[in-house]
Structures are given as C-alpha cells and as structure tokens.
Structure 1
Amino acid sequence: MAKQNWVISLLLAVCLIGTGCAEQTAKEKEAKAAEQQQKIEKEKKLQEKKKLEEEKKREEARKREEARPVYVNIIDPNTKDIVKTFNTKDLGYITNPGNYKAEITKLTRELARGTQSTPGYDKRMILDKLDENGQVIKGTPQTILDEEELAEKILLVSEKGGDVELPLFVTASGYQLEDAAHLDEVVVASYTTYFNSGVVGRTKNIELSAQAINNVILGTKDYFSFNTTVGPSDAEHGYQKAAEINYGKLVEGYGGGICQTSSTLYNAIDQLAVTYVEKHHHSLKVGYVPKGRDATVSYGGKDFRFQNTFGVPIMLKAIVSKGSLTVEVRTAKAYQSLVKKPI
C-alpha cells in the first residue's frame, strides 16, 4: 500500500513539473512575440523616417533645381556675338508656360523688327543703281529674320539652356551683273506729269526725288520701296519747303512735291504686271494725275511699295525737264518680248 502511494506521489510531481514548464514556455513565446513585434515596429518607424528624409532631400533638390538659372544665348550668325541672353525661369518657363511662350514671341518680334531705340534684323533691300559712268553702285540685299523658326529653336533648348543662332535669310537682287549695261536699251512703259517750274521749292523737291530713283535696277522678284530708295525728304538732305497735303489740308512742309514723283512712277509701273505691296491715295484730289491715280508717300509713314513681277529685270529712268517729269521703265532688248503686261 505504501508502495502504491509513493508511485502516485511521483506521478503527481511529474505532472506538476510538466505544467510549470508548459506555462513557462508559453510566457517565453509571448515575450519573444512581443519582442519581435517591437522590432517590426521599430523597423517600420526607421523605414518611415528614412522615407521622409529621402522625400525631404528630393524636395530640396527640386527647389535647388528650380532656383538654378538656365540661360539661353541668342547668337548673331555673322559676327558670332551674343545679342541676347536670358534666364528661361525668369520668364516663367516652369511656372507659367503660357506666359513664357508669349514672352518668346515678343522677343523674336523685337529682334526682327526692332524697337524705338534698337533697329531690328529685318532689312529692306536697297536696290543697285547705275552711276553716270554706267558703273553699278551696289545696294544691300534683303534680310529677313524668321521669327517663327527662332521661337521654335528657343523652345527646344529652354529646359537645359544653350545657344541659338538667329535664322537670317538673305536675298540678293534678281539680276545678273552682266545685264546691267543693257537694261536701258528699250522703253517698255512710261508716264509724264507736269508742274509749274516757277515754284522753286516744289521743283527742287521733284528733282531730288527723281534723281534718287533714276537708274535704279529692279531684278526679278525684287521689292521696291519709295521711302527706302529716296530717303528722308528734309532740309538736311536738300529738300525745301513747298505746299503738301496733310490730313486733308494744304500746308507748307519740307519735301512738298515728292508725291508727284511717286505718283508718276506709279502710273508708269502700273502698265506692267506689277504686284503692289503698299499704296495710298492723298486725302485731297491732286492736279497732276487723274483722280485715283496718285500714290502718296511720307518718310517714316506711308510708302509706295511693289514687287517686280514683270518676268524680267528692269531699270527706272526719271527725267526732269522744264515743267515736266517723265518716268520710264526700261529693259534689255533681249528681254523686251518677255515683259509681262496686266491681264
């Protein structure tokens, strides 16, 4: 009996020891799980902190990039000089793209056409002419700055910056130098107007303006500008005061009478297949040409411009006699049959 009790006690002790071990193992597992969770939370916080730091660095880098100037240099292709430098970001390339494009359009227009204080790159052709000895006096070719192409080039480099050359297109006069000596051979059109040679100032002005257009050569497709060819009609250039029409009134002004030269030229050139670029009538009727057949001009204002679409190169002759002005359009005999007439 005693032996049986001993065995039972032993078994009971073993059970109690096993239960204690089981409880201890469960607590250890809970502790390990809690420790593992703490590690996970800590790692999560570290990752979040790292992410925030990286975002902060990226934001700082973005701000530095936005603050970094990006320069565009506009280069004159002939001199290789920088004619304009600007920071694209100052003009709103990033912050206001619409305004940036508007600023570029304004810039290209000013470079082409100039401002009140700075001349532009666009230049009208100054036509060649013959001197008294039959030698060619060279003018200058037409120069056009392509504003649209320049704007496109600027936009292409606006993000990173760079150099852009001005797209200048130069057009020389459309005639061969060897033709010059023959362009006065035949008259293909002419017109004569009359004036009172006793009016000294007006006569002088007609003579000076006629001299300016005399022997001017217009190659095929060349453009003629009266104001560019004649220049300022002021006292400095020898012009005198005479009656002229100004805003519907007859007043005294330097250069009065040059409109008779431009109108005589118009009536001569109109006999050919001309293309007009600019032409204006006086605000009052004039007496030297029929109604509606005048062409008024004013240096710095209204101009008389046309393009030679006659099909051949020609030369202008302006002949002043006592009380008359004749403008002739001449060309070489070899070209006479090719001259285009109005349809």
Structure 2
Amino acid sequence: MGKTKWIILLIVAISFLGLVGCSQKTSTEKELEKKITELEKQLDMEKEEKEAALKKMEELEKEAQKIEEEKPVVVTVVEPNTKEVIKTFNPGEMGYETDLEKYKKEIGSWVKAAARGTETKSGYDQRMIPDKVGENGEIIKGKPRVILEESELLEKVLAASVKGGTVELPLYVTESGYKLEEVPQLGEVVVATYQTHFDSSVAGRTKNIELSAQAINNVILGVGDVFSFNTTVGPSDAEHGYQKAMEAVNGKLVEGIGGGICQTSSTLFNAVDQIGVDYVEKHHHSVNVGYVPKGRDATVSYGGLDFRFENTTGVPLLLKASMSKGTLTVEVRTSKANQSLIKKVN
C-alpha cells in the first residue's frame, strides 16, 4: 500500500476517534498525528529527491546531445546480405559543406568503381552466365545477373551525408526467365538457323571453333536474359585448351591463341538476327572475313570486345551448336507451343 494511502487511513482513524466523543486527545491520537507528520516530511524529502534526479537527468541529456552534435558525420556503406562494411565516408573532411560539386564527383567515382570494378578489383555488377541442358537432360546452373544501381547508391550516400547513417548497396539480382517444366520442350522446333564453313584441315582453328561451339551449345535463354558471348564461353587461352590460329588484330591477320572463336560468335549473330532480339553490344572486325558476308560479323575478345544481346522474343529459347565436315551450324529452338508467340523481326 502506498504512503499516501497510509496517511489517508491515519486521518480517517483520527476523525473516527474524534467522533467517539473524547474531549481530549488520547495517546493513540497523538501517536497517529506523529506518524502522519513523519510521513509528510518523508514525502517532502522524496519530492525534492525526485526533482533533483529529474534535473540531473536533463543535464545529462543536454551533455549527451552536445557530444552527439560534436561527433563527426560519418556515412557507412554496407553489403545488404552480410552487413559487411564496404566503405566509410567522412563528408566533413571530404568537403561536403565547402565544395559540394567536388564531393559529388568523388562519391560518383567511387560508386562507378564499386559497380563496374577496376583493373585490380572486380565490381558488384555481374553478367549472367546462362543455365545449360546437360547430356542427360539435367539443368547445369549458371549465375544470375547482378546490377549495382549506381544512381540510386549515389542519391542514398548524398542524402545520408547530411546527418550521417548507414547505406545498403542497392543490388538487384535477376534470375533466368524460364520455368523448369518448359525445358524438355525447348528443343522441339527450329525457329532460326545459320551455317558457316571453315577448313577443317587447319587443326588449331578447328579446335578453337569446336571448343567455343561446345560452350554455347544447349544454352537456355530465358525471357529477358542478356547473353554475353565472352561470359558464356570464358577465356580463350591455352589453359582452357585453345590453340594458335590466325586472327584479325588491328587490321592485320596475325597468329594468336584462340583464333577462330569469332566465327562462332558471328554464326550465332546471324542465327539470332532472324528473330526478335535486342543487341546490347556488337562489333565488326577490322578486316573483312570470308565466312560471312561483309558487315555480318561479330568480333569478340575475352576481356575486351563482346557480343551481347537480350532475348526480347517473349519466349524462352535453346541454342544448339554443332560441327560436321568443315561446317558450323547454330540453331535457335523453342517449344511448339511457343513457336507462334515469337516476336518477329521488324
């Protein structure tokens, strides 16, 4: 029971005793009054202590606020899944308040490097490695497309630069646009095909065409997937089995490891060009090549020029690549149900 209630009860008790008719205060009344007086003093003391505590708390809060205001503003960039700290910025030291444009430029340069990488470090952007159909019909998983949205990250860092805070990398992951149950039917009909020819007696070039053709064979292209020849085929070097052969470099034919893979990329281009795909990146050779008509080639160089296109046909596709007696054939296939749904070339 609270002390205030005790006081009330004591007062009531005294009043009751008064009603009994006693003309003078009894010892009991005096004892009760004494206790009331003591409790009132104690309550007054507790009130003062409470007021002192509140005053002390206000002083501490002001001191903490002052310390917080004096702390330097810091922006911390973290990886969204692991929460690992990727980068820390001190806007004050970097000139946020004195030279905003310079500050924006410096942050923008870091954002670009974080997304696209540098000569010594890979960025967060990752091109899709498409899934493939294995020899027994199993799905060989590739990798999804990952994009670090540069403009969004820049805006978030600039917004946090006012008072400081933590910013998560805006990473967007895109899986391949097909369904597992569609795969068994994707090879039913050929919707586009193209052939090129080569001298099969030239061992090095033949081997290089064979390896690159195997790399794109049975690749699944889901709706909206962006195909990268370089990412799909990988390095065309001796370590991966590629051999010396003639290749076009700076307008001249020279011998180099991997010569011949451009015939595979060019044959692929002429096949997919018959259906509704959008080109993301495509380059011509510096010299005319004999295996496709002029202007119908697509040169590639691992780590450099690439051939990339997006499957905008509206349906999932299957690439098939094969070699026979000096002939390279690339086919684009899909299911019978999808055949009539493919968007035609304008």
Partner of 1:112: 115
In structure 2, what residue type is equivalent to 1:190?
Answer: T
Q: Partners of 1:281 and 1:157 in 2: how far apart?
A: 45
Partner of 2:30: none
Deviations 1:84-130 (A, max 9, x none): 11211221112211111111111111111111122111111111111
Q: Partners of 1:231 and 1:87 in 2: how far apart?
A: 40
Q: 1:248 aligns with which of 251, 261, 273?
A: 251
Q: 1:143 aligns with which of 138, 143, 146?
A: 146
Deviations 1:108-158 (A, max 9, x none): 111111111221111111111111111111111111111111111111211
1:91 and 2:94 correspond: yes
Q: 2:323 aligns with which of 320, 324, 329?
A: 320
Partner of 2:313: 310
Q: 1:81 aligns with which of 84, 87, 94?
A: 84
Q: Partners of 1:296 and 1:190 in 2: how far apart?
A: 19
Partner of 1:281: 284
The secondary structure found in structure 1 opposite 2:142 is: coil
Deviations 1:210-242 (A, max 9, x none): 000000000111101101110110001100000
Q: 1:290 aligns with which of 290, 293, 306?
A: 293
Q: 1:161 aligns with which of 160, 164, 167?
A: 164
In structure 2, what residue type is equivalent to 1:306?
Answer: F
In structure 2, what residue type is equivalent to 1:168?
Answer: L
Q: Partners of 2:204 and 2:332 in 1: how far apart?
A: 27
Q: 2:124 aligns with which of 117, 121, 124?
A: 121
Could you list the runs of 5+ residues in structure 1 that have no partner in the other structure? Answer: 1-63
In structure 2, what residue type is equivalent to 1:117?
Answer: T
The secondary structure found in structure 1 opposite 2:274 is: coil
Q: Partners of 1:326 and 1:133 in 2: how far apart?
A: 22
In structure 2, what residue type is equivalent to 1:288?
Answer: Y
Q: Partners of 1:229 and 1:89 in 2: how far apart?
A: 45
How many angstroms does 1:159 deviate by? Answer: 2.3
- Cα 1:107/1:66, change in 2 over 3 Å: farther
1:234 and 2:237 correspond: yes
Greater CA deviation, 309-318 or 147-156? 147-156
Partner of 1:224: 227
1:103 and 2:106 correspond: yes
Q: Partners of 1:220 and 1:196 in 2: how far apart?
A: 36
Q: Partners of 1:279 and 1:98 in 2: how far apart?
A: 35
The secondary structure found in structure 1 opposite 2:340 is: helix
Deviations 1:235-267 (A, max 9, x none): 011000000010110100000000000011011
Number of residue pairs aligned between Structure 1 and Structure 2: 280
Partner of 1:266: 269
In structure 2, what residue type is equivalent to 1:116?
Answer: E
Deviations 1:22-58 (A, max 9, x none): xxxxxxxxxxxxxxxxxxxxxxxxxxxxxxxxxxxxx
Could you list the runs of 5+ residues in structure 2 that have no partner in the other structure? Answer: 1-66
Partner of 2:334: 331
Greater CA deviation, 164-173 or 154-163? 154-163
In structure 1, what residue type is equivalent to 2:339?
Answer: Q
In structure 2, what residue type is equivalent to 1:102?
Answer: K
What's the RMSD between the two structures over aligned residues?
Answer: 1.4
1:134 and 2:134 correspond: no
The secondary structure found in structure 2 opposite 1:121 is: coil
